[in-house]
């Protein structure tokens, strides 16, 4: 009988998002956080945030606040960890050195780790030598007995070496000859032979633990049940499993997420060379503390966090079925690690825009307040009813709140210019005569409603469709400035008789000016 993968109260889910503070989060990072969050919430578990700052050289100021702000904006805030407290502090790896030291000592004593004194330079030379001869150098069982480490020393030699203050690292001793059988929730069974592994450094010469060690110890101590991380970590899963075993701990379950790939050429998404990408990769604007360059984010571009999260959730995961719009609650409800895709994914900005549009349709309030602000700047005031009508008439044309103005300005102000090509064509005395005729006709209409106006104009031109077409284009240019926009008669009704006539006058004036100036030249 197959026992399904279930989670109950006896196995409380605890997951972590563990970024390193080397700059802003990108699409891939935030998606990893999202999946961790969804998984935790689905099983009533805990989502914790740990900062993996074991590499001091790569530290970038403001990264942490950026990460915190991003999670907040996406509404996937941690329950525990940096910025949220908890029983397992500190949540910065840089503050956990004492803890790591305890376990390093244990590994050393039990023969799972050893001191190594080879310098960076020596190893570099060795690697190059091997490479030139067509071989691969690996610090492993084949070579460690020929290198400068505690395995090749007597006790005395070792203590002398250590006392002489020469710098050293501590390496993990991999036992060769084993077929390691592992399981990944997304990928299934994976087998790696330990012969292919090398003796990874656990403690760097500056006394700081490497990611591998810190990560393993922290995940255990913080009672992490599921490690959900990017696929770039898949090759280290064997190392981590071996570390759990050496420390006598039960490992968590692993799920390695497919990578988000660059669609401009090669490689995984990263913070490098983002200029060549045709889409933004940061959720929030990032100001580089060194260069002061500002790189825009999805928030600044006008994406709603809900749309952003929805889009991201479906990039590498699908619950099946045809539904695509999911609230965060629904995402939590439908989420499952098993349904995450295995292959790398390409990001599609037009789909992201489509998602935003779906959410925009439900956000009339936000557009309303945006219009209010926009109008207030011009000292214009309109009734909410009027604004609502405008929004109703134009919302289908936009993907973002800020786009509403360029599609609705003509309900509030006269066009500031006329479409050049068309305007050029209508610079003619006959056009002025026509406009004059329609201006008078319109001013004589008492019921200035779209229904009446439509009837009137259609009646007037019932024998000449071409003419109707032409006059409507003329009026549209007068009202909007270009051959675009909402229903002409509705615009007329909305802005009213007085304003309509004023705009027709404006156009006539501009045509006259053009005719007069033009004559001087030709």
Partner RNA sequence: GGCCCAUUCGUCUAUUGGUUAGGACAUCAGGUUUUCAUCCUGGAAAGAGGGGUUCGAUUCCCCUAUGGGCUACCA
Please, which of residues 162-191 interact with RNA by CB under 7 A? 167, 169, 187-188, 190-191
Choose, by CB under 7 A, the member of 13, 16, 20, 254 that binds RNA.
20
Q: Which helix (H) or strand (E) holds 36?
A: helix 27-42
- Which 38-57 positions form the footprint of RNA (CB under 7 A)? 52, 54-55, 57
Q: Where are the alpha helices (DSSP H) in 94-224?
A: 97-109, 120-132, 155-163, 211-221
Q: Does residue 486 belong to the site contacting RNA (CB under 7 A)?
A: yes
Measure the CA–CA gap between 82 and 78, rounded to whole angstroms: 9
**CB of residue 403 to RNA, shortest distance in Å:** 10
Whether residue 360 contacts residue 400, with contact meaning beta carbons closer than 8 Å, is answered with yes
- Which 246-275 positions form the footprint of RNA (CB under 7 A)? 258-259, 261, 265-268
Q: Does residue 350 belong to the site contacting RNA (CB under 7 A)?
A: yes
Catalytic residue among 106, 223, 253, 271: 271
**Range list of β-strands (E), 204-359:** 226-230, 253-257, 260-261, 286-287, 294-295, 345-346
Q: Which two tokens stand for residue 158?
A: 């070792």
Measure the CA–CA gap between 26 and 491, rounded to whole angstroms: 44
Measure the CA–CA gap between 340 and 414, rounded to whole angstroms: 52
Nearer CB in complex with RNA: 58/512: 58
Could you give the maximum distance between any two Cα atoms of the chain, in Å?
A: 112
Choose, by CB under 7 A, the member of 110, 120, 264, 433 that binds RNA.
120
Whether residue 171 contacts residue 112, with contact meaning beta carbons closer than 8 Å, is answered with no
Choose, by CB under 7 A, the member of 110, 129, 160, 232 that binds RNA.
232
Find tokens 């071996």 and name the residue.
Answer: 242
203 exposed, middle or buried (CB, 10 Å; 0-12, 13-18, 19+)? buried
Measure the CA–CA gap between 442 and 465, rounded to whole angstroms: 19
Choose, by CB under 7 A, the member of 211, 308, 370, 438 that binds RNA.
211
Measure the CA–CA gap between 447 and 171, rounded to whole angstroms: 89
Nearer CB in complex with RNA: 208/247: 208
Q: Does residue 204 belong to the site contacting RNA (CB under 7 A)?
A: yes
Q: Does residue 94 belong to the site contacting RNA (CB under 7 A)?
A: no
Choose, by CB under 7 A, the member of 5, 105, 183, 193 that binds RNA.
193
Q: Does residue 235 belong to the site contacting RNA (CB under 7 A)?
A: yes
261 C-beta neighbours (distance < 10 Å), count: 17
List C-alpha distances in Å: 131 to 79, 141, 242, 363, 458: 48, 19, 28, 60, 84
Measure the CA dihedral 434/436/441/444, to 10°. Answer: 180
User: Which stretch in 32-40, 220-228, 312-320, 378-386 sits in contact with RNA by CB under 7 A?
Assistant: 312-320
Q: Does residue 29 belong to the site contacting RNA (CB under 7 A)?
A: no
Q: Which two tokens stand for residue 464?
A: 């000449």
Nearer CB in complex with RNA: 44/90: 90
How distant is the alpha carbon of residue 161 from its chain centre?
A: 50
Measure the CA–CA gap between 262 and 278, rounded to whole angstroms: 10
Q: Does residue 488 belong to the site contacting RNA (CB under 7 A)?
A: yes
Nearer CB in complex with RNA: 9/164: 164
Choose, by CB under 7 A, the member of 71, 174, 201, 337 that binds RNA.
201
Query: What binding mask, one character per residue, do residues 141-160 give for RNA by CB under 7 A, x or -?
Result: --------------------
Whether residue 117 contacts residue 162, with contact meaning beta carbons closer than 8 Å, is answered with no
Choose, by CB under 7 A, the member of 376, 406, 469, 498 that binds RNA.
469
**CB of residue 408 to RNA, shortest distance in Å:** 11
Vertex 246 angle, CA 240 and 251, to 5°: 50
**CB of residue 395 to RNA, shortest distance in Å:** 8
Whether residue 480 contacts residue 503, with contact meaning beta carbons closer than 8 Å, is answered with no
Q: Does residue 206 belong to the site contacting RNA (CB under 7 A)?
A: yes
- Which 395-454 positions form the footprint of RNA (CB under 7 A)? 396-397
**CB of residue 428 to RNA, shortest distance in Å:** 19
How distant is the alpha carbon of residue 441 from its chain centre?
A: 55
Choose, by CB under 7 A, the member of 101, 181, 287, 342 that binds RNA.
342
Q: Does residue 343 belong to the site contacting RNA (CB under 7 A)?
A: yes
Nearer CB in complex with RNA: 358/506: 358
User: Which stretch in 41-49, 437-445, 477-485, 509-517 sits in contact with RNA by CB under 7 A?
Assistant: 477-485
User: Which stretch in 228-236, 275-283, 290-298, 513-521 sits in contact with RNA by CB under 7 A?
Assistant: 228-236
**CB of residue 268 to RNA, shortest distance in Å:** 4
Vertex 229 angle, CA 223 and 233, to 5°: 110
Choose, by CB under 7 A, the member of 344, 386, 405, 452 that binds RNA.
344
329 is catalytic: no
Vertex 479 angle, CA 473 and 484, to 5°: 55
Whether residue 411 contacts residue 494, with contact meaning beta carbons closer than 8 Å, is answered with yes
Size of the site for RNA (CB under 7 A): 84
Q: Does residue 22 belong to the site contacting RNA (CB under 7 A)?
A: yes
Measure the CA–CA gap between 155 and 93, rounded to whole angstroms: 32
235 C-beta neighbours (distance < 10 Å), count: 12
Nearer CB in complex with RNA: 424/469: 469
Nearer CB in complex with RNA: 29/283: 29
User: Which stretch in 8-16, 241-249, 377-385, 482-490 sits in contact with RNA by CB under 7 A?
Assistant: 482-490
- Which 361-390 positions form the footprint of RNA (CB under 7 A)? none
**CB of residue 407 to RNA, shortest distance in Å:** 8
The catalytic residues are 271
């Amino acid at each position: 009988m197959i026992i399904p993968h279930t989670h109950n109260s006896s196995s409380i889910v605890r997951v972590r998002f563990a970024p390193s503070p080397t700059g802003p989060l990108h699409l891939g990072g935030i998606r990893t956080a999202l999946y961790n969050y969804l998984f935790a919430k689905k099983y009533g578990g805990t989502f914790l945030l740990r900062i993996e700052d074991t590499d001091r050289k790569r530290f970038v100021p403001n990264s942490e606040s950026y990460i915190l702000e991003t999670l907040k904006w996406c509404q996937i805030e941690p329950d525990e960890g940096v910025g949220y407290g908890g029983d397992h502090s500190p949540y910065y790896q840089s503050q956990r050195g004492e803890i790591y030291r305890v376990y390093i000592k244990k590994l050393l004593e039990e023969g799972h780790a050893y001191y190594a004194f080879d310098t960076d330079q020596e190893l570099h030379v060795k690697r190059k030598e091997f490479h030139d001869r067509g071989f691969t150098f690996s610090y492993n069982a084949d070579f460690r007995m020929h290198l400068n480490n505690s395995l090749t020393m007597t006790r005395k030699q070792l203590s002398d070496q250590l006392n002489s203050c020469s710098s050293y690292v501590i390496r993990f001793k991999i036992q060769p000859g084993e077929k390691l059988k592992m399981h990944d929730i997304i990928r299934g069974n994976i087998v790696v032979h330990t012969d292919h592994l090398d003796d990874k450094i656990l403690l760097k010469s500056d006394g700081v633990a490497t990611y591998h060690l810190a990560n393993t110890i922290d995940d255990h101590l913080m009672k992490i049940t599921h490690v959900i991380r990017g696929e770039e970590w898949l090759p280290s899963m064997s190392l981590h499993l071996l570390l759990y075993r050496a420390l006598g701990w039960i490992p968590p379950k692993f799920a390695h997420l497919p990578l988000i790939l660059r669609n401009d050429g090669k490689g995984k998404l990263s913070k490098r060379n983002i200029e060549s990408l045709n889409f933004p990769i940061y959720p929030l604007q990032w100001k580089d503390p060194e260069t002061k360059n500002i790189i825009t984010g999805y928030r600044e571009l006008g994406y709603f966090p809900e749309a952003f999260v929805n889009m991201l959730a479906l990039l590498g995961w699908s619950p099946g079925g045809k539904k695509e719009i999911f609230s965060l609650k629904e995402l939590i409800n439908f989420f499952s690690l098993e349904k995450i895709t295995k292959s790398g994914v390409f990001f599609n900005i037009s789909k992201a825009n489509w998602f935003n549009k779906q959410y925009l349709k439900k956000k009339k309030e936000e557009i309303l307040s945006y219009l209010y602000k926009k109008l207030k700047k011009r000292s214009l005031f309109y009734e909410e009813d009027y604004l609502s009508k405008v929004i109703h008439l134009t919302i289908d044309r936009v993907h973002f709140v800020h786009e509403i103005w360029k599609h609705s300005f003509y309900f509030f102000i006269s066009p500031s210019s006329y479409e050049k090509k068309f305007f050029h064509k209508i610079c003619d005395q006959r056009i002025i005569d026509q406009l004059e005729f329609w201006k008078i006709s319109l001013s004589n209409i008492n019921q200035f409603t779209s229904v009446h106006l439509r009837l009137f104009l259609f009646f007037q031109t019932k024998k000449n469709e071409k003419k109707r077409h032409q006059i409507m284009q003329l009026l549209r240019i007068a009202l909007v400035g270009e051959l675009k926009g909402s229903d002409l008669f509705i615009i007329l009704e909305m802005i009213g008789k007085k304003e309509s006539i004023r705009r027709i006058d404006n156009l006539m004036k501009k045509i006259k000016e053009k005719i007069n100036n033009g004559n001087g030249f030709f």
